[in-house]
Structure 1
Amino acid sequence: MAALKTDMGIDLGTASILVYAKGKGIVLNEPSVVAIDQNTKQFLAVGEEARKMLGRTPGNIIAMRPLRDGVISDYEVTEKMLKYFIQKAIGKSFFKPRIIVCVPSGVTEVEKRAVVEASTQAGAKKTYLIEEPIAAAIGAGIDITQPNGNMVVDIGGGTTDVAVISLGGMVVSRSIKVAGDECDDAIIRYIRKKHNVMIGERSAEELKMKIGTAYKRDKDITMEIRGRNLVTGLPKTIIVSSEEILEALEEPITNIVDTVHAVLERTPPELAADIGNTGIVMTGGGALLYGLDKLIFERTGIPTRIADDPIECVAIGTGKALDWVDVLDNSIVGEESIGGRY
């Protein structure tokens, strides 16, 4: 009977949702986007299928992200979306799964409760919470139980979490609502201002992923993008260079680097010395932005590396934390969190 039970770890991200099933690894990785018919309130598409509809729907259909800045902005839609992903990940099961959900380190008690309730309503037997930097560190292969200082910079879609971890807990941490989505918005604003062309979220994300940079490249690269001319109202094709994207991303990237600096300033001397030796580990999709690790190293003087699988790092860490669920179940009753205060 125990073999029929499926405990799950969910990385509930602003941009995408990853589901880790115990004994199977990551079984689902889809955008956290939902398409809804506004007239009937019916779900038309979820995940990748819904993402393709962003900015392309008729008046009665809305493609939306129910999570904003790492927290739930539309409770009902998030609950239905979670239910869909849970069922898709484990199929039909007689047993309700125990679920660990990942949340940003700076979330409030109200936001935590919203996540727990949404997970429970979506079909969880019991919900635990784990804070993103802890999950990211576990997923990156760091032994967080040791009395050594480890620094993790997790850059997701809605939030950037920076934390110093020692003895299984966060000693110093800070979460800011500047991450991948803010970088996309900065690119949209820049293209509109410089080229007088309006582009959508998907086009901005494509620019960021293909030619985006946080550090001056040795060789400038370009990319062709289509948008709407704000003067004529007609479609227009423009060529954008990586140098322009570097300029566009200056403000959000500076905010992220300043946050890393601020956390280091508040770190106890002994742990700061450890971090100087072990370096900074970057996780999350934002860690893949070209040159961001070089920029952090240049500003802090501390070696900075990108985790082996930065996008799946948090989900893998959340999944590995499932091994602690049985211990928690024996000692704690109710809604709990792992690796953080709740």
Structure 2
Amino acid sequence: MRTYLGIDLGTANTLVYSKGKGIIINEPSVIAIERDKGEALSVGIEAKKMIGKTPSNIIAIRPLKDGVIADYDIALAMLKYFIKNAVGGFSILKPLVVVGIPTEATEVERQALREAALDGGAGKVYLIEEAMATAIGAGLNVEEPSGNMIVDIGGGTTEIAVISLGSIVLSKSIRVAGDELDEHIVEYIKNEHNILVGERTAEQIKMEVGNTFECDEYDNLSIEVIGLDILSGLPKRVNITGKEIRTAIKNPVSKIVENIKNAVESTPPELLSDIVNKGIFLAGGGAMIKGIKELIEKETLIRVVIADEPLTCVARGAGMALDNIKILENISKTRR
């Protein structure tokens, strides 16, 4: 009678896990709005196709920034769409929903997300730190008296946490992640090649030739890019190499790695011993960037394990947490 949902309301993508069904929605966190009427025209995949290509009366918006709600009304419209699609048809009882949120989100940001989920059609809402959800979704036993270290590189934030006995021992949420890598790629191509490219092109470049570890294999990657020549105002084609993109994203990647190293240094010795034996678990879209595993291993001297299905860990973990209400209640108590 009641639907149980785990939601990863990400800056880049929204994923919904339904208990008993698995991941049922995986779409971009984008909504297209008719400017004058304020009506939603499309959400998700179709809306993302419109970014940078809409007429003046339509705007394609990403209502989340750095993992939290930046535009409440538009985020609410998007959340309503996803919850309605997840529940499907008529339901007597409103769904019980668990939503992932950045560890260092403010109480105002938490309340905005909680209210948006309730207004969007949820009957009851739990919030769960994305790092905890990632650990559960990665299949780790978070309740055992043993240290687990999670690094989740998403679209808006990178979540770093050490978990033991069902609680977060230490955590760090930095607003440096996939989106910032895209921004640095756009800026690099503008400065080095005098052409303008959009965020969708930058994301494609990152996925195809983006890398973080120096080696011939990655240096020799290349992709042809079409952009607007700043000098002539005409279209221009250039070949961008993997070596160039590694240079373009070096600064934000260095910030992520430095924060991981700081977390390792701050971990209590007994838990650190567990982490060295198990490895650091890496998830999120950033886990799929070429060479990131090798770079973190080189800098921390700890083995890195990329989680199975790293893109879906938060949504799966949020949904799976419904099987252990004790963890959710424990999280709620620590936030009071």
Is the contact made by 1:170 and 1:340 (CA closer than 8 Å) also made in structure 2? no
Instruction: Note the C-alpha offset of 1:277.
Output: 1.1
Given the two structures, how large is their TM-score scaled by the length of structure 1? 0.95
Give the Cα separation in 2 of the matches to 1:316 and 1:227.
Answer: 38
In structure 2, the partner of 1:279 is 279
Amino acid at match of 2:49: K
1:57-107 CA-to-partner distances (Å, cap 9, x unmatched) read 111111010000000000011111111011111212222101000001110
Residue 187 of structure 2, aligned match among 179, 186, 189? 189
Is the contact made by 1:9 and 1:319 (CA closer than 8 Å) also made in structure 2? yes
1:143 aligns with 2:145: no
Instruction: Note the C-alpha offset of 1:218.
Output: 2.6
Secondary structure in 2 matching 1:312: helix
Instruction: Note the C-alpha offset of 1:308.
Output: 1.1
1:156-204 CA-to-partner distances (Å, cap 9, x unmatched) read 0000000011111111110000000000001000000000000000000
1:80 aligns with 2:74: no
In structure 2, the partner of 1:51 is 48
Instruction: Note the C-alpha offset of 1:341.
Output: 2.9
Give the Cα separation in 2 of the matches to 1:175 and 1:212.
Answer: 23
Secondary structure in 1 matching 2:311: coil
Question: Are the structure 2 counterparts of residues 339 and 174 from structure 1 closer, same or farther at C-alpha, using a change threshold of 3 Å?
Answer: farther
In structure 1, the partner of 2:15 is 18
Is the contact made by 1:10 and 1:19 (CA closer than 8 Å) also made in structure 2? yes
In structure 2, the partner of 1:296 is 296
Secondary structure in 2 matching 1:311: helix
In structure 1, the partner of 2:335 is 341
Question: Are the structure 2 counterparts of residues 128 and 337 from structure 1 closer, same or farther at C-alpha, using a change threshold of 3 Å?
Answer: farther
Question: Are the structure 2 counterparts of residues 234 and 339 from structure 1 closer, same or farther at C-alpha, using a change threshold of 3 Å?
Answer: farther
Question: Are the structure 2 counterparts of residues 116 and 95 from structure 1 closer, same or farther at C-alpha, using a change threshold of 3 Å?
Answer: same
In structure 2, the partner of 1:240 is 240
Residue 66 of structure 1, aligned match among 46, 63, 68? 63
Is the contact made by 1:36 and 1:43 (CA closer than 8 Å) also made in structure 2? yes
In structure 2, the partner of 1:314 is 314
Instruction: Note the C-alpha offset of 1:338.
Output: 5.5
Is the contact made by 2:321 and 2:327 (CA closer than 8 Å) also made in structure 1? no
1:211-252 CA-to-partner distances (Å, cap 9, x unmatched) read 100112332111001111111111111100000000001001
Amino acid at match of 1:341: R
Give the Cα separation in 1 of the matches to 2:293 and 2:139.
Answer: 19
Secondary structure in 2 matching 1:28: strand
Give the Cα separation in 2 of the matches to 1:199 and 1:328.
Answer: 45
Amino acid at match of 2:227: G
In structure 2, the partner of 1:109 is 107
Instruction: Note the C-alpha offset of 1:313.
Output: 1.0
Give the Cα separation in 2 of the matches to 1:283 and 1:275.
Answer: 16
Residue 212 of structure 2, aligned match among 196, 211, 214? 214
Report which stretch shifted further, 145-154 or 86-95: 86-95
Secondary structure in 1 matching 2:80: helix
Secondary structure in 1 matching 2:172: strand
Runs of 4+ in 1 over 4 A off after TM superposition: 336-340
Percent identity over the alignment?
50
Is the contact made by 1:16 and 1:32 (CA closer than 8 Å) also made in structure 2? yes
Amino acid at match of 2:285: G
How many residues are aligned here? 333
Is the contact made by 2:166 and 2:327 (CA closer than 8 Å) also made in structure 1? no
Give the Cα separation in 2 of the matches to 1:237 and 1:312.
Answer: 35
Secondary structure in 1 matching 2:314: helix
Is the contact made by 1:276 and 1:302 (CA closer than 8 Å) also made in structure 2? yes
Instruction: Note the C-alpha offset of 1:328.
Output: 8.3
Instruction: Note the C-alpha offset of 1:7.
Output: 1.1
Where do 1:1-40 residues align within 5 Å?
4-40=1-37
Give the Cα separation in 2 of the matches to 1:241 and 1:49.
Answer: 30
Secondary structure in 1 matching 2:6: strand
Give the Cα separation in 1 of the matches to 2:28 and 2:214.
Answer: 30
